[in-house]
Amino acid sequence: MNNLEKLKAARQTLLRLHKLLIDRERELIEGIEGPLTHGAFLGMLLNDPDFQWLRRFSSAIAEVDELLSSKDGVSGEMVDVQLAKLAAVVEMETDEYFAAKYQSALQQSSEIAGHHSEFIVHIGRSGNET
């Protein structure tokens, strides 16, 4: 698999991982506050500081989409840089709040943990680098 294919596969896996994390967060918040409308939950995702940790996933996905839709083409170097940026998305060393939320999700959901592992494979990292 070349690096462009790795990037596309990593993007797809990250998209699924992000969806699972959002669904989990919705379940958690609705367990506390009761059912939310789609609009109310979307507003929380976009504006509530408690959901800031999830925005790093959506930003990374958008950045890959922008790169892949470039009319000027995509160089190998650009792909390599983007793969490195994707690897940073799930790094837990620099942000304690992110680490706590993400680690909890990984520990409580085998589906999330599985997608995390698949993502790590696609970006070409070993599992002990996160």
pLDDT in tens, 63-75: 999 999 998 889 9
pTM of the model: 0.89
The mean pLDDT value for 57-68 works out to 96
Q: How far apart are CA 128 and CA 130, in angstroms?
A: 6
**CB-hemisphere CA count at 13 Å for 70?**
12
Average the pLDDT over each of 14-18, 19-23, 88-92 and give the range with the smallest value: 88-92
Helices (H), 51-129: 52-68, 76-89, 96-108, 110-122
The mean pLDDT value for 29-53 works out to 96
Q: Which residues contact 33 (CB under 8 A, 6 or more apart)?
A: none
Domain boundaries, the chain: 3-126
